[in-house]
Structure 1
Amino acid sequence: MPGPKGFSEDQQPYEGAGALQSVSYARLKIDSAGRIVIPAEMRAAMMVKPGDTVTAEVVEGEFRIVSPDVAVRRAQAFANKFKADHPGISVVDELIAERREEARKDLEEANAWRATRGLPPLE
């Protein structure tokens, strides 16, 4: 019996509204509050609309705005590459192991600090 719609053991590729497009350079002005208006043609090419959240970064002096579609596609590509490069390794198990190791180190640090103050160790 299939599970509820939208859930699957195997990750399905993200399908956006359509293929992402490119738009040539445009000169944009920065207002006194530091805002930039993204032209409608560029917003359409990025498949974003008013109210959407985008991510931004500066890489080697270049300001880049990344749409949610691109962010999802990049994350999927990274996950697929990891899966291909590490067959048989569960990403979830790796993450849990990393978190447990971090927690162990945090506990060691906390107990070392507590020992310098004459406090009993945490378990």
Structure 2
Amino acid sequence: MDATLVLGQQGRLVIPVEVRAALGLAPGDRLHMRVSGQRVVLERPQDAVAELRGLAHQVPGSRSLVDELLAERRLAASRAE
């Protein structure tokens, strides 16, 4: 589905009714906005969370991202001394 939006005087966008219906959006719903290169991405917070959980699910249970982060920080700190 394609739609053209017009930026209003106060910087507001109106999402066309067809798009809102297709996405199940209702007045008062919150959307997360992020900039990806030259694109603006709008998504429902629950969809963003589901995407992040999917990415985290790919990390093997035997791998500790916290331990890796701490090791990187310790290495960076030792280089700064």
Sort the TM-score into its range (normalised by shorter chain): 0.5 to 0.7
**1:45 aligned residue:** 22
Alpha-carbon distance in structure 2 between the residues aligned to 1:44 and 1:73: 21
**2:61 aligned residue:** 87
- Give unmatched runs, 5+ long, in structure 2: none
Q: 1:33 to 1:68 in 2, by over 3 A?
A: same
Percent identity (aligned): 28
- Give unmatched runs, 5+ long, in structure 1: 1-23, 106-123
Q: Say whether residues 1:70 and 2:47 are aligned partners.
A: yes
RMSD: 2.4
**1:41 Cα offset (Å):** 1.9
**1:79 Cα offset (Å):** 1.6
Aligned residues: 72
Q: Which structure has the larger Rg over C-alpha atoms? A: 1
Moved over 6 A (4+): none
- The structure that is strand-richer by fraction is 2
* TM-score between both structures, scaled by the size of structure 2: 0.66
* TM-score between both structures, scaled by the size of structure 1: 0.47
